[in-house]
């Protein structure tokens, strides 16, 4: 059986989902030299099969319902997306207010206001882990349950 070419590997990976340039380079690294990988990535971008901008928008669109802006920004940076593209994707895809997204996530997980400090801390840590700022968490957990309706 013949070895799969670098171009075929790249196309197979991109057929499954969009990848950032850095992600694809990392996945192709064991299968070719840096020069071959750079040429393959350049060709994929030339064919518009590889786009960090498209990847960033798709990532934000698919993860915005579960995570806050800080987490989305961190995840995209970890995947090698440039800061300008991250900002563009967040501005374009996060139309819903941060507090509204936090409220929806909080409601699906807890649904009732914290009864004591311990419960408040637990809910706050959960939202913080999801990438919401402390100001958003504070506003959300301080409002009474019927204010959010």
148 in a structural domain: no
- Provide the pLDDT for residue 146: 47
Interacting residues of 134 by C-beta distance below 8 A, sequence separation 6+: 128
- Is the same domain home to 8 and 39? yes
- Is the same domain home to 41 and 24? yes
Radius of gyration of the chain (CA): 20
- Provide the pLDDT for residue 147: 46
147 in a structural domain: no
- Burial of 94: CB neighbours in 10 Å, binned 0-12, 13-18, 19+: middle
- Provide the pLDDT for residue 4: 84
- Is the same domain home to 104 and 67? no
25 in a structural domain: yes
- Is the same domain home to 23 and 67? no
- Provide the pLDDT for residue 144: 53
Tokens linked to 61: 């669109």
- Is the same domain home to 37 and 5? yes
| pLDDT tens by residue, 49-89 | 999 999 999 999 999 989 999 999 999 999 999 999 999 99
C-alpha distance from residue 144 to each of 63, 110, 113, 126, 140 (Å)? 27, 14, 7, 19, 9
Tokens linked to 91: 């501005």
Q: What is the CATH number of the domain that holds 125?
A: 1.10.10
Domain assignment of residue 71, given as a range: 52-95
- Is the same domain home to 56 and 44? no
Question: Could you give the number of structural domains in the chain?
Answer: 3
- Provide the pLDDT for residue 20: 96
State which residues of the chain have pLDDT below 70: 1-3, 95-96, 144-149
């Amino acid at each position: 059986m013949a070895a799969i070419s670098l171009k075929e590997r790249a196309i197979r990976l991109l057929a499954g989902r969009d990848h950032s340039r850095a992600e694809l380079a990392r996945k192709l690294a064991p299968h070719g030299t840096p020069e071959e990988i750079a040429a393959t990535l350049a060709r994929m971008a030339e064919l518009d099969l590889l786009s960090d901008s498209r990847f960033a928008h798709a990532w934000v669109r698919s993860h915005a319902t579960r995570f806050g802006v800080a987490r989305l920004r961190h995840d995209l940076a970890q995947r090698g997306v440039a800061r300008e593209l991250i900002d563009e994707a967040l501005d374009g895809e996060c139309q819903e207010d941060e507090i509204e997204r936090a409220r929806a996530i909080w409601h699906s997980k807890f649904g009732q206001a914290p009864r004591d400090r311990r419960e408040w801390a637990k809910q706050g840590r959960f939202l913080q882990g999801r990438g919401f700022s402390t100001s958003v968490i504070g506003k959300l957990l301080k409002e009474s349950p019927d204010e959010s309706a």
